[in-house]
Amino acid sequence: MNSYPKSFSNLIEIFTKLPGVGPKTAERYAFHLLRFNNKDLETFGNVVANFKKKIKICKKCFTLSDADLCHICSDTKRDQKLLCVVENIADMYSIEKSGTYKGLYHILQGVLSPIDGIVPENIRISELVQKIKKEDIEEVIIATSTSLEGDMTASYIANIIKNNSIKISRIASGIPVGSNLKYMDKMTIKQSIDDRKQF
C-alpha cells in the first residue's frame, strides 16, 4: 500500500483506466505531470476536459471530426467515386498514414459476430447501402480485417451491394491472416491496397 497523497493516488488510478497502462506506468505518468509548469498543466487539463464536448462524428463517413463533415469528406480533391469500407476509425487512420489511398471512407464501427450477438443492424451496413445508392460510387474496397469476423463481414457486404453495378474489391496480399490494420506498417498497407482483388 502506498502513502501518496490522495490527490496523487487519484491521478494514478485515473491513468490506469487507459488501455495498456498498469500501475507502474500510471505512476510514471503522474510524476511526469508534476514537472509540467502551471500553464502547460492547465492546457493539458482543459484539452482532456473539453475534447469529448467538442469532438463530433462525421455525418458522412462516421470518423472523428471537429465539424459536421471531416477533413477527408470535405476535401473535393479526393476521389469521390472510390469508397473504402473499414471496421473502425483506427483502421481508417492507418490507411491514411500509408499515403496510398485518395478516396473516401465508410466506417462500419464493428464487424459481424453472431457469437457475440453482433448482427448487420448493430453496425453501419444500412448506411453503407444508402450511400452507394445515393452517391456516384464506382468502386468499393472492403478493408475489414482478415479475421473470421472480418471475412464474414466482407462477404456479407459484397453480397448485398453486388447488384449496384459497381466494382467490389477486397484488400489483398500484405495483411497477414488474423491481424488488424492498426498494427500494420505503411508499406504493408500500401501493398494490400495496391494489390486489392475484385470480389
Residue-wise pLDDT for 109-154, tens only, equals 999 998 999 998 999 999 999 999 899 899 999 999 878 899 899 9
CB 152 within 8 A of CB 180: no
Phi–psi pair at 68, nearest 5 degrees: -60, -35
* Structure confidence by residue, pLDDT tens digits, 2-32: 688 899 999 999 999 999 999 999 999 999 9
- Strand 197-198 versus strand 79-86 pairing type: unpaired
Rounded mean pLDDT, 153-158: 94
Q: What is the dihedral of CA 156, 159, 162, 168, to 10 degrees?
A: 50
Higher-confidence residue of 157 and 164: namely 157
Asked if the model's pLDDT at residue 104 lies above 70, the reply is yes
**pTM reported for the whole predicted model:** 0.74
- Exposure string of 39-77, with b = 16+ CB inside 10 Å and e = fewer, is eeeeeeeeeeeeeeeeeeebebbbbebeeebbebbeeee
Mean pLDDT of the chain: 88
List the end-to-end C-alpha distance of the chain, in Å, as a whole number. Answer: 58
Minimal CA–CA distance to 84: which of 73, 71, 69? 73
Grid cell 490522495 in the structure block, residue: 6
- Higher pLDDT: 174 or 181? It is 181
Contact between residue 94 and residue 189 where contact means Cβ atoms under 8 Å apart: yes
